Amino acid sequence: MITIIAIILTIIGSLNWLLVGVFGFNLVTFIFGAGAFTAVVYVLVGLAGIWMLYYLVRTKFRVDPIRDNVRNY
């Protein structure tokens, strides 16, 4: 469940940065204003990005408990 929420937040964050880069339009600030809740959204998107990095590393390199080594999948 955490991974699904992280994927959604990562997509929202990436779409927001696309809008900022192409049009100079910040959708999060437009929706929530320039307040504390906007900062919370940015923190959640950042944590989701960190979780996705962890998830990528965890699923890319799995430890084989029988052979006690790292295998690439």
Reduced to 3 states, what is the DSSP secondary structure of residue 1?
Answer: coil
- pLDDT-based confidence at 65, cuts 50/70/90? low
pLDDT in tens, 3-33: 999 999 999 999 999 999 999 999 999 999 8
| For residue 37, pLDDT beyond 80 | yes
Query: The tokens of 38 are what?
Result: 């906007």
The 3-class SS string of 6-73 reads: HHHHHHHHHHHHHHHHHHCCCHHHHHHCCCHHHHHHHHHHHHHHHHHHHHHHHHHEEEECCCCEEEEC
**pLDDT greater at residue 60 or residue 19:** 19
